[in-house]
Amino acid sequence: MAMQVSSSQSPQHILGSEEYSLYSSLSEEELIQMAIEQSLSESSTSQPTAHSHQKLATNVNEDSTAAASWRRPTHRPPQPRNRSSQTRAGQPPIPGSNSGVVKKRYDGSYFCTTQAAEPNPIEVMIMNGNVEALDNLIKSKKSLCDPNKDGWLPLHEAAYYGSLGCLKFLLKAYPTTIDQRTLREETALYLASVRGKLDCVEFLLQSGAEPDIVNSSRETPLYKACEIRNHNAARLLVEYRADVNHRCNQGHTALHEAVARNDIDIIDILVKGGAKIEAKNCYGITPLFVAAQSGQLDALRYITKCGADINTQANDNASALFEACKNGHDHIVEFLLAQGADANKPNKDGYLPIHIACKKRDNDDIVSMLIPVTSRVRVKRSGISPLHIAAERNSNDILEELINAGYDVNFTLSFDRARLYEDRRSTALYFSVMNNNINATRMLLEAGANPNVDVINPLLIAIRQGCFTTMKMLLDHGANINAYIATHPTSFPATIMFSMKYLSMLKYVMDLGCEAESCFKCEYGNGAHPPMASPRHPDNVSQDHKPPKIVQFCEMVSTPEFTRWAGPIIDVLLDYVGNIKLCSRLLEHLDSYPDWDCIKTKSEPPRTLTHLCRLKVRSLIGSNRIKLLNTLPLPCRLIRYLSYDNSNEY
DSSP letter at 398? H
As a whole number, the mean pLDDT across the chain is 82
pLDDT grade for 626, boundaries at 50, 70 and 90: confident
**Contact indicator for 175, 208 with CB cutoff of 8 Å:** no
The residue ranking higher by pLDDT, 186 or 34, is 186
Residue 10 has pLDDT above 50, yes or no: no
Angle (deg, nearest 10), helices 164-173 and 131-139: 20
127-136, 164-173, 319-328, 343-352: least confident range: 127-136
Pairwise pLDDT comparison (405 vs 18), residue with the higher score = 405
Q: How confident is the model at residue 267 (pLDDT cuts 50, 70, 90)?
A: very high
> CATH top-level class for 218-229+237-309?
mainly alpha
Quick one: average pLDDT of 543-548? 60
Residues of the chain with CATH 1.25.40.20: 121-210, 218-229+237-309, 313-379, 383-480
What was the pLDDT predicted at 538? Answer: 44
Residue 401 falls in which region: left (phi positive, over 0), alpha (psi -120 to 50) or beta = alpha
Rounded percentage of the chain residues whose pLDDT exceeds 70: 78
Residue 101's DSSP bridge partners are: 113
Higher pLDDT: 547 or 310? It is 310
Range with the poorest average pLDDT among 80-89, 579-588, 625-634: 80-89
Does residue 48 register a pLDDT over 80?
no
Higher-scoring residue by pLDDT: 611, 85: 611
Beta bridge partners of 102: 112
Q: Is pLDDT of 97 > 50?
A: no
**What pLDDT is attached to residue 143?**
84
Q: What pLDDT does residue 548 have?
A: 75
- Give the bridge partners for 551, in sequence order: 490
* Burial letters 274-294, b for 16+ CB under 10 A, else e: ebebebbbebbbbbbbbbbbb
Question: Are the C-beta atoms of residues 410 and 449 closer than 8 Å to each other?
Answer: yes
CATH of 313-379, one of 3.40.50.300, 1.25.40.20, 3.90.1300.10, 1.10.3720.10: 1.25.40.20
CATH code, residues 121-210: 1.25.40.20
pLDDT the model gives residue 51: 35
pLDDT at res. 64: 34
Helix axes 198-206, 164-173, angle to 10 degrees: 20
At residue 419's C-alpha, the angle toward residues 418 and 421, to 5°, is 80
Q: In Å, how far are 83, 437, 535, 630, 648 from 635, measured between CA atoms? A: 95, 39, 48, 10, 18
Q: How confident is the model at residue 532 (pLDDT cuts 50, 70, 90)?
A: low
pLDDT digits (tens, 9 = 90+) for 465-499: 989 999 999 999 999 999 999 888 999 999 999 99
pLDDT tens for residues 373-394? 999 999 999 999 999 999 999 9
CATH superfamily of the 383-480 domain: Ankyrin repeat-containing domain (1.25.40.20)
Can you give the pLDDT at residue 30?
57
**Confidence at residue 203, expressed as pLDDT on a 0 to 100 scale:** 95
